[in-house]
Structure 1
Amino acid sequence: MPNRTAFFVSDGTGITAETFARAILTQFEISPKMVRLPFVDNVDKAHQALRQINHAAHVDGKRPLVFTTVVNMDVMDVLRRDCEGMLIDMFGTFIAPLEHELGMKSNHRVGRFSDVTKSREYHDRIEAINFTLEHDDGQTNENLEKSDVILVGVSRSGKTPTSLYLALQFGLKASNYPLIPEDFERRQLPPAVLPHKKKLFGLTIDPKRLSEIRHERRPNSRYASLENCQYEVREAEALMRRAGIRILSTTHKSIEEIATIIRQDLEAKTAR
């Protein structure tokens, strides 16, 4: 039987609807086709979205799953009346109980999340992203002291994606440094990061998995050989242990999990 189609319908970007829906759908052993329908902010666009949703219902032979964060009542009326999918109104599910609990009405404003661009938090996050891109892979030592966190690890151990996630999701200025053979010979972390030991986190990875990742980049090279990967991981972990920094393995943990652990550690250090 064909898989269902999941639609994420929003009067804004659809990011909230998609993120929330994906989290829910991971609880089920299904692989739906996922379609985001953003900026559905008037009745005409609602009818356009409906045609796409209802067409999927006929093609799939199953009701589409329609997750929505639309707050425009006219748009929602169209969706509720004519949608041939299972409509899941995320805001409606949570806003009404919150209105009752808080004793106040919500704003019910279309595009409410566009206000985020005016917030200090938003601008801090943009600044963190720019900083993180500038300080990726040890490109520069300038303003390194402004880093909220500095990641070290061998090449392809997950430093760059973790750094970017920390900046994008948490607004943290994240630098990262590769550990290279010269560091192993000196038996010391890169000199530039040593004054910032309290901000350091080490990333490691299973050598076999590292070899697989590197073979995708440079097949049949010494860089990707299992023997070399075993050597680099062993030496890198030894450096980290001698420096007394926390080591996190990216072998079985997702970027999201690693980043959350790092953030929790930083918050705990700040609270002390």
Structure 2
Amino acid sequence: MSLTVFILSDGTGITAETFAHSILSQFNLKFRLLRLPFIDSRIKAALAADRINQTALESERRPIVFTTLVDPVLNEMVKGARALVMDIFQTFVEPLEQELGIEASHAIGRGHWTADSEAYCQRIEAINFSLAHDDGQSDHNLEQAEVILIGVSRSGKTPTSLYLAMQYGVRTANYPLIPEDFERGALPGPLAAYKSKLFGLSIDAYRLSQIRAARRPGSRYAALENCRAEISAAQTLMERENIPYLCSTHKSIEEIATTVLQECKLEKVIY
């Protein structure tokens, strides 16, 4: 049986879930993560505690709770539940208060007070830009791109582009490398002027064949030999043009994005 892990937050819970996932990945066990966001009142905290207690009654082992609740009253209500409660804020905030000599605000949702900020608007613009420049559908305003991902179809360009836009506010375009490009032995025409912004993604041929077969089963597009030929031609082209690239086969979107930021020297802070 999987062990139940609750993620409690007065906001979205995304930060706490990311932290919990990083910690839990160190253990070779199955975990069932349940995120309970927007716990910002006593009623919601009581309901969350009841749900945790009910899970404890139905399980062989008590649940684990990761919480980023900043309201001490709500936190104490949750800590009374039958669970191992890991208070992420208390772990870090109290030592910082002592070190800095000031008290933290303990204001609910402070980490998400960005809806009207310039940085938030830039992130929305980056998302819109990436959607408009997905899969080479437009070369309008391409000079505004901070990075342009290239690679064969289904090598991970679109999810990486959107992740860079959503998490880092990076205006990312992506272009597919197709057989016509390989026959010409040249990059797609619109990209010639932006060679310094290019970064390539490659992928294992067998994995690419699997991905394509799920979309177009039995097609030449998904055939293993065709995938091998396209990947080989794409890598040859990128190497000849001195375009950095990586293999996305065994890397998460987060790892790919981090490598892109590092290689392209884009100093961005995650939102």
Q: What TM-score results when the alignment is normalised by the length of structure 2?
A: 0.96
Distance in 2, Cα, partners of 1:12 & 1:169: 17
Residues 97-108 of structure 1 correspond to what in structure 2 (within 5 A)?
Answer: 97-108=95-106
| Match in the other structure for 1:49 | 48
| Match in the other structure for 1:77 | 76
SS of residue paired to 1:34: strand
- The amino acid that maps onto 1:240 is M
Q: Cα distance, 1:269 vs. partner?
A: 9.7
| Match in the other structure for 1:241 | 239
Q: Runs ≥4 in structure 1, deviation > 6 angstroms?
A: none
Distance in 2, Cα, partners of 1:254 & 1:13: 22
Distance in 2, Cα, partners of 1:143 & 1:21: 40
| Match in the other structure for 1:18 | 17
Distance in 1, Cα, partners of 2:264 & 2:184: 29
Q: 1:180 aligns with which of 178, 186, 206?
A: 178
The answer for unaligned runs of 5 or more in structure 1 is none
Q: Cα distance, 1:133 vs. partner?
A: 0.6
Deviations 1:103-161 (A, max 9, x none): 11111001212312232211111111110011000010000010000011000011001
1:59 lines up with 2:58 in the alignment: yes
Deviations 1:185-217 (A, max 9, x none): 110010101100000011111111111111111
Distance in 1, Cα, partners of 2:253 & 2:37: 26
| Match in the other structure for 1:232 | 230
Distance in 2, Cα, partners of 1:235 & 1:68: 49
The share of aligned pairs that are identical, in percent, is 53
The answer for unaligned runs of 5 or more in structure 2 is none
The 1:152–1:231 alpha-carbon spacing in structure 2 relative to 1, beyond 3 Å, is same
Q: Cα distance, 1:268 vs. partner?
A: 7.0
Residues 66-215 of structure 1 correspond to what in structure 2 (within 5 A)?
Answer: 66-80=65-79, 82-215=80-213
Distance in 1, Cα, partners of 2:267 & 2:257: 15
- The amino acid that maps onto 2:71 is N
Q: What TM-score results when the alignment is normalised by the length of structure 1?
A: 0.95
Deviations 1:224-257 (A, max 9, x none): 0011111111111111111110021101222211
1:30 lines up with 2:45 in the alignment: no
Distance in 1, Cα, partners of 2:16 & 2:251: 25
Q: Cα distance, 1:8 vs. partner?
A: 0.5
Is the CA contact 2:261–2:267 (under 8 Å) kept in the aligned structure 1?
Answer: no
- The amino acid that maps onto 1:201 is F
CA RMSD of aligned residues (A): 1.4
Distance in 2, Cα, partners of 1:135 & 1:186: 23
Distance in 1, Cα, partners of 2:264 & 2:237: 21
Is the CA contact 1:3–1:60 (under 8 Å) kept in the aligned structure 2?
Answer: no
Number of matched pairs: 268
The 1:125–1:144 alpha-carbon spacing in structure 2 relative to 1, beyond 3 Å, is same
| Match in the other structure for 2:264 | 266
